[in-house]
Amino acid sequence: MLTTIDRLGMVKIKHLQRIHELKYRNMAQTINRHLKPYINETFFEREKVIYLNKDGRSFIGSDKDPQKPTLIAHTLLRNEVYLHFNCPADWQNEYTIETQLKPYSGLDAIINSNMKLSNTAKVRADAMFTRNGYVHLIEVDNARDMAENKKKINSYADILPMVRKEYQQTPILYFFTTTEHRKRKLEEWLKGRSIRHEVKTFLEIK
């Protein structure tokens, strides 16, 4: 269970209950009897939320940074996506895709002589997992400014076509968002791009 909490960052008791297929009461008792020394607790919308403390991370050998309570809403919504996909075994939070760009020409180097040049491009997905030979990239949109969403879609549009050779296929991008209005805007920006994608609201996966 500590490994599950570490993988997801923060969890509600009902998340652990569903993942480990226990009754809510049994899960709550397990947490109180066995996990207390290794976790911190807080509340979000009247539900208890738990995450590993320093002793918990040390006990399982985790090298992850301490969780930031300011990201609690985003983290818990990401957990709902994890459950929606039936708890992928290779799920990774904060997954960075990085690819090499074509080498700079001599003219580029001269023009940009006062700038630090980089021949890589990257974008960070909120999560990633693989299934049936395909890479699935997850974006959780709950409070992000829509201009930032558009900018991130542009980054995906630039990078994903370049990583096809590396992955031997085109990754699938999923956006999960909070309202139908935001869903329509995301679909509009993704339309016509060389991106395999799907957009859903959180209500659609509950």
| CA-to-CA separations, 54 to 37, 40, 60, 107, 118, in angstroms, rounded | 10, 9, 10, 51, 36
Residues 6+ apart with CB under 8 A from 67: 9, 10, 51, 52, 75
For 33, how many CA atoms within 13 A lie in the half-sphere containing its CB?
6
Rounded distance between C-alpha atoms, residue 22 and residue 184, angstroms: 38
pTM, 2 dp: 0.87
Rounded distance between C-alpha atoms, residue 66 and residue 47, angstroms: 21
Which helix (H) or strand (E) is 129 found in, with range? strand 120-131
Q: How many CB atoms lie within 10 A of CB 45?
A: 9
Rounded distance between C-alpha atoms, residue 128 and residue 88, angstroms: 9
Query: Roughly how many angstroms between the first and final C-alpha of the chain, as a whole number?
Result: 23
Rounded distance between C-alpha atoms, residue 51 and residue 9, angstroms: 6
Rounded distance between C-alpha atoms, residue 151 and residue 82, angstroms: 25
DSSP readout, 69-119? Answer: GGGHHHHHHHHHHHHHTT--TT-EEEEEEEEEPPPPPHHHHHHTTTS----
Three-state secondary structure call for residue 160: helix
pLDDT for 140 equals: 97
pLDDT for 88 equals: 96
pLDDT in tens, the chain (206 residues): 999 999 999 999 999 999 998 888 888 899 989 999 999 999 999 999 999 999 999 999 999 888 777 789 999 999 999 999 999 999 999 999 887 766 544 444 444 444 444 567 889 999 999 999 899 999 999 989 999 999 999 999 988 888 777 777 889 999 999 999 999 999 999 998 889 999 999 999 98
Rounded distance between C-alpha atoms, residue 171 and residue 81, angstroms: 17
